[in-house]
Amino acid sequence: MSWKRSERLIDMTNYLLNHPRDLISLTFFAERYSAAKSSISEDITILKEIFELQGIGKIITIPGAAGGVKYFVTVKEAQVKPFIDDLCQLLANPDRLLPGGYLYMQDIIGNPQIMDQVGRMFASKFGDQEIDAVMTVATKGIPLAYATASYLNVPVVIVRKDTKVTEGSTVSINYVSGSTKRIQTMLLARKSLKEGSRVLIVDDFMKAGGTINGMISLLNEFNASYAGIAVLIEAEEVEDRLIDQYTSVVKLSNVDAREKKITVSEGNYFLT
Amino acid sequence: MSWKRSERLIDMTNYLLNHPRDLISLTFFAERYSAAKSSISEDITILKEIFELQGIGKIITIPGAAGGVKYFVTVKEAQVKPFIDDLCQLLANPDRLLPGGYLYMQDIIGNPQIMDQVGRMFASKFGDQEIDAVMTVATKGIPLAYATASYLNVPVVIVRKDTKVTEGSTVSINYVSGSTKRIQTMLLARKSLKEGSRVLIVDDFMKAGGTINGMISLLNEFNASYAGIAVLIEAEEVEDRLIDQYTSVVKLSNVDAREKKITVSEGNYFLT
């Protein structure tokens, strides 16, 4: 088959979207479409422009014999702001109030589109950094971790609060829950993280930051480090937070169970 | 901005990939690009052809005033067969043997690319049916459920084996684990599934099928039904399986801990 430009562009768009942060040589595309490298270069110019214009992402050209192109997910403030506003409104719905001041969250966590958009945001913020894995704690953080990891093109590492026989040997640490001050245990399968990895920590909710602090302690056990901390919701009323550098999408300022009022605002995503 | 065909095709590809199973009117695209509907129709023809050729998916045209196009994820046998072969080889690696004959799986479950490909396969098989949600049980099935749900454009419903305070009222059932014959409990937040929903059940592993049978019992409590059952791995040696209709990607025939040999073959995906 001889490929026309319009046909190549469709397939290249799909290919790039499925291979974020991979280095793809122009030769690869030239052979895939039996096209001249110069034609592929022109294709890339058009792709770059539209990806940028539409907030799909940025395409970086790496020159030289070992060069090629890399696609990075990005988000546009103009697209994300309305998304965050909608999310705030969704969260402020008093129907999600549960006994004890807890909030029902499964409608948000269970929505792959919301998870995907938040994953895009996190990948956009940290995509330029060297990241080997996304780490989270079971179970609510899992969807967000996968959404982020698929845009970063790295594996997901899941920390647990209970032991499973099917994980083999584990490394465990004790940590103090920031809000309840109770001592808890979390563990990670020894096989699931390579020594010296650089990790992005992702979670659905951060109050005092005890759980995230626990994950950082676990990282130390693997001689690993973290590139950043990203949470969907931060609780604002916390006095002595254990974590000071993080990115949040929304901020939960107040939950008034008596008045049935939940106060939510934009997080620090665009400030960090 | 006045859009050229080549530019439109890039953006349309991205838009369709992000909106599977959504009905998109030609007017929407015509307005988005300030283009004539006839030009958009021609664009769609090119998109259709390349999506089909490259195994990206199928684009269906719904005629009439309320019509438009719908994108469905599909997979090509020629692309999926090598993927399944690789997965079998990966699974047969004796390094994943754990005490008690269990298999370490987190490297596979934690790989978003593998999860994504399996999600594509499941969405391709069931995408034509009416499906309102994807259901799984925490925690190993969660990544697969999200991958599938995002291609089907429906929410994820997560059944638990433990109670969480943050879910509100739940419906619980007792079920008999098919392989250990023990009585266990599983529960689902009342809010998380609408009465009468049609659900696709997804899980990472099926032995006798007790867990899946439990999910079916739970569905009955919600007057809900299931459109299908899809698992990543089925264990073959089971004598009296509780479930007879299901789709599997791979089949685990034998785990010989003494000889350190794991026997894996292709599942029934292409036979069902």
Query: Looking at residues B244-253, what average pLDDT do you find?
Result: 95
Q: Among B81, B88, B112, which residue's Cα sits nearest to residue A116?
A: B112
DSSP per-residue codes, A225-247:
EEEEEEEEEEETT-SS-S--S-E
Q: How far apart are CA B48 and CA B57, in angstroms?
A: 8
| Minimal CA separation from B134 to chain A, in Å | 10
pLDDT at B165: 64
Residues 6+ apart with CB under 8 A from A220: none
Q: CB atoms < 10 A from the CB of A255, how many?
A: 19
C-alpha A147/C-alpha A113 separation (Å) is 10
Segment B8-38, tens digit of pLDDT: 999 999 999 999 999 999 999 999 999 999 9
Q: What's the rounded Cα separation, in Å, for the pair A252 and B188?
A: 26
List the single residue in B with minimal CA-CA distance to A13: B10
Distance from CA of B47 to the nearest CA of A (A): 7
Q: How far is B266 from chain A (nearest CA, A)?
A: 23
B222 touches chain A (CB under 8 A): no
Question: What is the mean pLDDT of the segment spanning A158-173?
Answer: 85
Cβ of A155 and B9 within 8 Å? Answer: no
User: Could you tell me if A10 lies within 8 Å of chain B, comparing CB atoms?
Assistant: yes
pLDDT number for residue B239: 74
Averaged pLDDT, B167-171: 88
Q: Does B230 touch chain A (CB under 8 A)?
A: no
Model pTM above 0.95: yes
Using the beta-carbon criterion (under 8 Å), do A104 and B167 form an inter-chain contact?
yes
Where does residue A268 fall: left (phi above 0), alpha (psi -120 to 50 degrees), or beta otherwise?
A: alpha
pLDDT tens, residue by residue, B41-89: 999 999 999 999 999 999 999 999 889 999 999 999 999 999 999 999 9
Residue % of chain A over a pLDDT of 90? 86
Cα separation, B270 vs B251, whole angstroms: 13
Least confident span in A141-150, B57-66, B175-184: B175-184
Determine the Cα–Cα distance for residues B61 and A71; give it in Å rounded to an integer. Answer: 31
Predicted pLDDT at B12: 98
Please indicate if any CB of chain B lies within 8 Å of the CB of A90. Answer: no
Task: Please report the pLDDT score of residue B23 as a whole number.
Answer: 98
Question: For A211-219, what is the mean pLDDT?
Answer: 96
pLDDT at A168: 85
Q: What is the pLDDT of residue B96?
A: 93
| Pick from B47, B111, B28, B120: nearest CA to A13 | B47
Find chain B residues with C-beta within 8 A of A233's C-beta. none
- Distance of residue A7 Cα from the nearest chain B Cα, in angstroms: 6
Q: Quick check: B164 pLDDT over 80?
A: no
How far apart are alpha carbons A242 and A244 in whole angstroms? 7
